Structure 1
Amino acid sequence: MRRLSPSSLLVLLASALPALAMESGNYQGPAAYGGELGVSVEKQKFKIEVTRPGCQGDTEGTLRPAGKDRWRVVPDESYSSLQCVIGIRRKGNGFAITEKDCLDYHGASCSFDGSVTRGKVAKSASADGKDSASGSADDPVWTYGVHPQLGKSAYVETSDGAVGLACAYFGNSAAMAHILSFRATPNLARQGTLDIMFDDGSGGGVPVTHSQGFVEYKSDTCTIHLDSLKKASVLHVLEGRVEGFDNSSGETVMTVSQDGTTFQFSSKNIGELDKLKSKRFPLTGSAKAINQMVAECPAAQRDIEWMCGAE
C-alpha cells in the first residue's frame, strides 16, 4: 500500500474541505457607477442595497455556492420576465459583486456592481449632505402604500404636493386600455393639464381629470411614461406649458413656453431644465415602489409581458 507524504496529505485534505462561506455580518463599499453598496449576510440570507443621489434599490435572496469562493443570489421577488442574478466572488479581504438583468431592482442610474468589505453598513449621502437612502423633506424616497389623497399607489410627496402611479384595472380583459393611473394632487394641474418633463428628455402635456382628492391620467403601460418614472432621476411639473415636439432633425426637441419666453430642450441641453420654474419630484426609489405596485396589478404585468412598458 502506497503511503502519502505529509505534503500530499495536506493537499488532499484541503481539496476535500468545503469553500469558506461568506461570513455573516455587514459589508459596505463603492458601487461601480457611483454611490455606495451595503450588504447584510445572516447565514444563507443575503441582502443588498445601492444608494446614490437620485437612485436607490435593494433586494434579497438566498446565498448559494457557485464554485470556490464564489456564490450567486437570485432575488426572492421577481418583477419581470428577466431573471436577475447577483454574483459574489471573494477578492482579497473583501468581495467583488456583479449583476445580470437586475435593472428593475434599482433603475438605470445605479447598479449592484461593485465591491464590499466587512464593516458597518453606511447610508449614502446626497450632494447636499442629506441621507438619500432614508430620504428627507428635500429629497424624499418613493413609497408603495396608501397616500391620504392619491390612495394606494407608488408615490412621492414633497412640500409642493404629491405624484404617483396606481393600478387602475384589476380585471382580466385584454381589451382594457386604462390599466394604470398617473395621479397628482390637484394643485399641480393647470387648466386640466399636467405639463411634465423628465431629466431624460421625455415628457409632455398630460390631460387629467378630477377624481376623489386627486387628478389622474389613465392609460396603458406604454403611454403613461412608465420607463421614465422608473429610470429617470427627476420629474419636473412645469409652471409653463409644453407646446410641442419636433423630430425633423433626427433628435426630439421639446418646446416649452413660460412667462412669455420660449425654451427648447433636447438631450444636448437637458441639464438646463433647472432654469425653468417647476415643482421638482425626485425619483429616488421609484423603480422599487412601482415594481411593488405592478406585482399587485395583473393587467399591468400582462401589458409589460406583451412588450408595452418598462420591464
Structure 2
Amino acid sequence: MRPNRPLRTRPSAALLVGISVLTSTVARAEPAFDGEFKGRGEGRLSLQVSTLDDPPAVAGMYFVSVETAVLNRCTGQVTGIARKTAQNTLRLRKKPDENGEACEITLRYRPDGKSVQVEENACAYWHGTECAFDGRLTKVLTGR
C-alpha cells in the first residue's frame, strides 16, 4: 500500500500565459489622450488634443488647444505641444511672458480616458484675471 501524499497541482502553461497577458495589459493600460473635451471651471472650458506620432521621433507628444470663456467678462486660449510626463498626464509649457512667468497646463486623465482634470499655473497672461483654465472636462463622444 502506498503512503498518502498530498496532492500537488501545477498550473498549466496556458493558464500562466493567460495571467501574464492580462496583468501586462492592465499594467500598461493608458487613456486615449486624443479627442475633444468640454466642461466648466470658472467658465466654459474646451480642450482639443491630437497625437503627434509621425515621425516616431515625436511619440509621446500631443498638440493641445485649451479655451476658456466667461460671458461678457473674459476669454482665453493657449495652444502648443504637450509632452507625456506620466502614464495619465500631459504637460504643456509656454515660454515666459513679459513678467518672466511660464504658463504651464497639466492634463490629468482618469484611467478610462473619459474625463480630464485641467490645472494651470501662471497663465493669467493668456486669459486675463477673471478666467482660468482649471476645471474637469468630459470627453465629447463623436459619431452619434
Task: Tell me the TM-score range normalised by the shorter chain.
Answer: 0.5 to 0.7
Q: TM-score normalized by structure 2?
A: 0.67
Cα separation, 2, equivalents of 1:41 and 1:114: 16
Q: How does 1:1-311 map to 2 (within 5 A)?
A: 5=16, 6-15=18-27, 17=28, 19-23=30-34, 25-31=35-41, 33=42, 35-43=43-51, 44-53=62-71, 54-75=73-94, 78-80=96-98, 81-91=100-110, 93-119=114-140
Cα separation, 2, equivalents of 1:29 and 1:18: 25
Q: Decide whether the 8 Å contact of 2:31 with 2:109 is kept in 1.
A: no
Query: What RMSD over aligned residues (CA atoms) do the two structures have, in Å?
Result: 2.3
Cα separation, 1, equivalents of 2:117 and 2:25: 27
2:74 partner amino acid: C
Cα distance, 1:22–1:108 mapped onto 2, change above 3 Å: same
Deviation at 1:69, TM superposition (A): 1.2
Deviation at 1:13, TM superposition (A): 4.3
2:44 partner amino acid: E
Cα separation, 2, equivalents of 1:41 and 1:66: 15
Large movers: runs of 4+ above 4 Å: none
Q: Which runs of 5+ in 2 are unaligned?
A: 1-12, 52-61
Cα distance, 1:62–1:18 mapped onto 2, change above 3 Å: farther
**SS class of match (1:11):** helix
1:28 partner amino acid: K
Cα separation, 2, equivalents of 1:7 and 1:63: 35
Deviation at 1:63, TM superposition (A): 2.2
Cα separation, 1, equivalents of 2:50 and 2:123: 22
2:128 partner amino acid: G
Cα distance, 1:82–1:94 mapped onto 2, change above 3 Å: same
Q: TM-score normalized by structure 1?
A: 0.33
Deviation at 1:71, TM superposition (A): 1.0
Q: Decide whether the 8 Å contact of 1:66 with 1:72 is kept in 2.
A: yes
Give the aligned partner of residue 6 of structure 2.
none
Q: Decide whether the 8 Å contact of 1:21 with 1:69 is kept in 2.
A: no
Q: Decide whether the 8 Å contact of 2:106 with 2:119 is kept in 1.
A: yes
Deviation at 1:19, TM superposition (A): 2.8
Cα distance, 1:11–1:101 mapped onto 2, change above 3 Å: same
Cα separation, 2, equivalents of 1:51 and 1:63: 22
1:48 partner amino acid: V
